[in-house]
Structure 1
């Protein structure tokens, strides 16, 4: 077989591909170009195959022409890209012409002795044309991707301008008018950044984007109430401080988004690299184990230096006032044990080097094993301390006592009591900030480390904002807007505690090897989230029902159902592991549903984040929303399938859709009294179980169909199969056959529109 013209996918285009849409668009092209070149190795072809190859060459040329037309239209409407895009389009068109000529068998080559014709004598020419086509198409796609970045930057600039106007308003009428415009601009910005987040290949950038978008989402409501409070009480310093902090945080989040899309280095990323014990231990172990391959791979003394850097970072644990004496001593002893084992390893390596050993001796191998074991025990102990601290802290703060006290005392106008509970909240904030820092050390993946830092920064900022909002209420106890403002900030604090509980669950999963580097679902949609901009009181209306806890007898009754949820959640995780595309929408929504179902299982045991029946019903409503999104993804997925296969997926999707609607209806139906409430709990869990059963069936089924679909796209098919493909997706003919370009609307141009035309780059795939 001929080698790929792109070197197994890494062709020299001179451009780094940062998004999945560009990468996924190029993968079929790389595969199909390789198939075309491979015909060069088979110098004898039948007449039938020759004619099929000829048709492919012509089809490629026409498809490239249409693709180039879109690129040229983009260049015409974006002056800054005109020269680069024009050159890339010229190269792509020339490469398409070359491929058409090289596959043209109109001119007789002369028969061979066996009656067949010798073709493709100039393999080097085909390879050169293929390389040029791949490189130029990649460049066109990457340049088109710049338009997406430009749209995000333009949208950010619009938001910033309106944000400045909001900050300067002096009347309610002016504020309402500008805030309405601001809301529309934020919705547009959210859509653009959400698409970008899903498209990014780099998981660290995804985590940073998710954190920035979460800040903007939560701060939008805070901005509304903080601004209204400041307008109502213009002479109140605490109200102004509260408002200024929100505006500042929104600006920082907007800048972070731009840093991500423009590849600027962030302070968060630098912080991860500089403070994470997990990274230090990983690098240390890697270097220790590397000694097996080459004893001279690094000076032995450098190992001790790396270890000392790790030990220095453990001071975040040992110097903490909240670390018990027992845990502190355990960490210090394991640090010393690892240091001693490293010194023994260094001695063994020096001795082996003195005897000119090329490979690890028995003494070196034993010392490597001991060192790796001791540093692993240190990592395990640090994980135990961090997770134990976080678990205790979340449990201790589950009653939200300082928040309730601040709201109550503020409404009474008791400034002294507000100051007292403000000190209590400040102490809690410091504990949470420190705990987030410890979790960052042991979280296990860089995306989770970034999420830990985001949680740390959130507690650090929201704590003082709650206090300033409470002070404002205490100064104006009859002010409804001041009361509403404090409520919003308290809800943000509670929300972040909930996110921290989910984060803790993910950290444990990674440590125990259950989820690896999978996405952490830390920004699940919450009831009322979609109406934040237009209905600030919506979330409050959801709390009119009475929140109660199940007693022991009730929990025993639903324990079996809960256990089934746990098993189904595990089944989803197992099936998800088998997917090659871990970022597929079906996988993403299924994982999210499994995570929420697991939380509901914990509720049946009296554990976890969900404490009351109201918490459970809120979680069930969010689960139903996630299920509806999965239904939407399944519908999109089914469009790729044949009618029979599509019918099967659609049938199961309809079952899931009905269950989601049933769960939504059940959660919104009021329940009066203990018996009715328990029946509602039981019904919610049973419906959730039914939904997860459908998901467990769909995941392997869809995975098989996806693999089959990919196989059919990339496998070698007959010329007849190719002709049938042309019938369903024509690539020949004039530009009017499905290739009309709307060059008047620049918003339509970008990677997606180019992808549609790339779909027409259908190549012959013959045996």
Structure 2
């Protein structure tokens, strides 16, 4: 039976990579588990005489370590044979590791004991020092292997980058379509190799900030590959067109910068020895400031007043980005300036109380100091909230205003008509839109809350800054050559990139709000899978097969849309005063199920392959039918005038849930059929979530109407009690919390979609 799942997004233990292998070597995990067992064994309270049961456990640990080391070393030796420049070092490190593993196995071997004591206990493992030495040698040699393997991976990425750059230079100089097609084919293969290598590297990065930077760079390369194709074709078709040349050069320049960014990340270096810029986020400054202020409770002397004053000055200096912005509303600007002045006064008062407390630690003085600390922290928190509201309100309004993409549509029409005057007019409007979006990204960066989100804001800002002028040059080219199909295709590609970035910005805004409101990482993930051993036990051996670009994009887009709907449902659920309401609880459970399906499209979460996804879809369909039943019961308690709108939505739920149930249960074979089934399941799930997002606010309003006395339930007690009892009697619909997830760029996950098909 076939199954599919995107590659996972995290590595839980150290890993090494074969030169031509995409995934981490699995034996490393069991090796490190064995090392932990040896560490426990060494640190355990020493007893000269041990029971036979304890002795057998010791021997099993020693054997497990040796076996894990053998597998690990085999991989290392393979790498050594394929990389001559490091073969000697790698082989020596592997030899040391193998010798250490064998030593540990010998020192814990039960067969070396010939004469047990009269009481049945055996005296062994007396050479604890020998085991410690062997364990140290093992760790040292394994570390060497990992370091050498890492050097090889870095070298591979650099080599791959150099190939891409060399081919890009050839692409820039081609003068015929035939030559371009040949070189671009080579370029495509090299970019695929580079994407695989950097994708693996991104998974292995421990720093979330570096992961976000890598994801941003890879997203640029992915999008620019298509831009490079159409921009180059346009330039070849219209070689004397200056705007086409400018358009193409912009793409090549951006790709080169992205390639260099990747190398900086994997080599942990900066160009020309520059130091990495410190984050300018106001949030980080406020966090440090509050920490220092609150630290005065414990130690009055660990900080000087100059330090606090300087920290506040830096924060207030950054708020000038908001107050000086032409796009910040007058109301927000006035409130920010007011809070700035208040923060200065509160700090002055705090410093005064602080000085008094240092001179005399009386009860009254310490109470005054505590009050000053609280007021200062409260003021700076209010400033933080006001800045957040200013940035997110601006972003929300802009995204809503530009959601129809009217300027892009007008540019396409004007270009196709050859109307240069109209193109110039709409180019000015797009330029203004670009400035608004760039400024908004800068403000969002201040309130992003985490370093990865800050990186994403910078990436969005750069994308708008670069893509805007490229759209303008592409539109001008089309206006000069209105009958050119290639010029039209080129403009379409750049406009799609703009629209895609607006969509990504919408997701970014939601993530920033989640962090600010403390919701990030609290999303419950529904576990619908049976216990281990009862599911997928008879699956055939699976092999990975790459999805094509269109399939990758479709699944990733569907996953993103599903994520947005779960956020909408969660937001509507939070508006209910009664969080124990059955409809709210079941809605949250259904949302949680949909969320696990979204995580599947990212290569994360509890669903391992398509079989898990289909099982989840079946359970989700059952929950959809149950939701319909709950809504019907709810509607039965309403007055007749309040029912029609609600019943209209309820009637859509049953057929959708039944269709999803049938689809999830229908067996299919082959890559295409399975992909179609995955697509259909997520589409149906999305449709049900859409209905739920519309039904919840309707029900909430009707409930408020009843409480206000403008409507009523006919029999609320029995309805509520009966439904609660029904829920209590059903098993497996309550959801299950999991660890926080990290949001990363969508394009990274599109690159990593992998199809698993039976051999």
TM-score range, shorter chain: 0.5 to 0.7
Residue 20 of structure 1 and its aligned partner are, at CA, apart by: 9.0
Distance in 1 of aligned mates of 2:102 and 2:551:
55
Structure 2 counterpart SS, 1:129:
helix
Matches within 5 A, 1:131-210: 131-210=136-215
> Are positions 1:232 and 2:247 aligned together?
no
Matches within 5 A, 1:222-301: 222-265=227-270, 273-301=278-306
Query: Which residue, out of 375, 383, 386, partners 1:378?
Result: 383
> Are positions 1:410 and 2:438 aligned together?
no
Query: Which residue, out of 592, 615, 620, partners 1:571?
Result: 592
Contact map agreement 2:286 2:315 (CA 8 A) in 1: yes
C-alpha distance 80-292 of structure 1, shift in aligned 2 (>3 A):
farther
Distance in 2 of aligned mates of 1:185 and 1:565:
49
C-alpha distance 170-83 of structure 1, shift in aligned 2 (>3 A):
same
Structure 2 counterpart SS, 1:323:
coil
Residue 469 of structure 1 and its aligned partner are, at CA, apart by: 0.6
Matches within 5 A, 1:368-767: 368-516=373-521, 567-568=588-589, 570-571=591-592, 586=607, 661=676, 664=679
Aligned residue for 1:335?
Answer: 340
C-alpha distance 369-113 of structure 1, shift in aligned 2 (>3 A):
farther
Contact map agreement 1:295 1:358 (CA 8 A) in 2: no
Distance in 2 of aligned mates of 1:94 and 1:496:
54
C-alpha distance 103-455 of structure 1, shift in aligned 2 (>3 A):
same
Residue 191 of structure 1 and its aligned partner are, at CA, apart by: 2.1
Distance in 1 of aligned mates of 2:587 and 2:674:
19
C-alpha distance 403-132 of structure 1, shift in aligned 2 (>3 A):
same
Distance in 2 of aligned mates of 1:506 and 1:450:
13
Residue 87 of structure 1 and its aligned partner are, at CA, apart by: 3.9
Q: For 1:488-511, what per-residue CA distance to the aligned partner results, in whole angstroms no more than 9, with x for missing partners?
A: 111111111111011111111111
Contact map agreement 1:292 1:359 (CA 8 A) in 2: no
Residue 412 of structure 1 and its aligned partner are, at CA, apart by: 1.7
Structure 2 counterpart SS, 1:294:
coil
Distance in 2 of aligned mates of 1:326 and 1:701:
43
Contact map agreement 1:40 1:120 (CA 8 A) in 2: no
Query: Which residue, out of 12, 36, 39, partners 2:41?
Result: 36
Distance in 1 of aligned mates of 2:213 and 2:275:
12
Contact map agreement 1:95 1:133 (CA 8 A) in 2: yes
Structure 1 counterpart SS, 2:325:
coil
Q: For 1:26-79, what per-residue CA distance to the aligned partner results, in whole angstroms no more than 9, with x for missing partners?
A: 641332222332556233212454355346535543543443343233223323
Residue 249 of structure 1 and its aligned partner are, at CA, apart by: 0.6
TM-score, normalised to structure 1, is 0.67
Aligned residue for 1:634?
Answer: none
> Are positions 1:326 and 2:331 aligned together?
yes
Gaps of 5+ in 1: 1-8, 12-18, 519-528, 543-561, 602-626, 632-649, 669-678, 690-695, 705-767
Contact map agreement 1:221 1:533 (CA 8 A) in 2: no
Contact map agreement 1:211 1:451 (CA 8 A) in 2: yes
Contact map agreement 2:353 2:365 (CA 8 A) in 1: no
- Count of equivalent residues: 585
Distance in 2 of aligned mates of 1:145 and 1:249:
28
Distance in 2 of aligned mates of 1:369 and 1:456:
36
Residue 226 of structure 1 and its aligned partner are, at CA, apart by: 0.5
Query: Which residue, out of 121, 124, 131, partners 2:129?
Result: 124
TM-score, normalised to structure 2, is 0.68
Distance in 2 of aligned mates of 1:82 and 1:447:
38
Structure 2 counterpart SS, 1:220:
helix
Structure 2 counterpart SS, 1:147:
helix
Distance in 2 of aligned mates of 1:276 and 1:380:
14
Contact map agreement 1:109 1:119 (CA 8 A) in 2: no
Structure 2 counterpart SS, 1:489:
helix
Aligned residue for 1:639?
Answer: none
Residue 254 of structure 1 and its aligned partner are, at CA, apart by: 1.2
Distance in 1 of aligned mates of 2:732 and 2:214:
32
